[in-house]
Structure 1
């Protein structure tokens, strides 16, 4: 099982994790913060992700969503784009705009590794 990145700045660790998210899967902001070594720093992970939305990074920013299984970028004007990109990868959203994290959430190291729900 591969482990999350442990070297570099928080930003570098978050970006390294985002680069590993496979198509058709998602991670949450809180999950990124946890795996980047700063549990509880979901908002800071969001700031890192916000800088990627210009599209020039080449990183799959669209694969990071909130802990409720929703995209958080509607207020920034990117919500429909983000949902569309995820749907194109096969991620399904219900009528309420939520995806099922139990189905679509990705954890480094494989499918067998999944933490308790409260860490999502």
Structure 2
């Protein structure tokens, strides 16, 4: 690429668009632990315990209005952040896709709780 384009060598990078890049001799590793921590703090869940399963099994959410309304702006912000986190955390992809269904009207989400 240097032969075709004028470039400068800025050496190895460690962060790119909130994705941590760890470069080894034989492998390249990507992670978003700092971004995930920031997202947990924003959602008020920084002190919660981690779990293996990111979503309750056989959870059924509906659009029936029974529960108290949620802050739609905060909900959209958190879901958007989770969608970005999926780039490096494929294990949460199903759960994030599931809650993304309600992004247009999050005030009407109800569950088994």
Return the TM-score normalized by structure 1.
Answer: 0.29
Of the two structures, which has the highest relative contact order with CA contacts closer than 8 Å and spacing of 6 or more?
A: 1
Return the TM-score normalized by structure 2.
Answer: 0.30
* Structure ranking higher in strand proportion: 2
**Which one has a bigger Cα radius of gyration?**
2
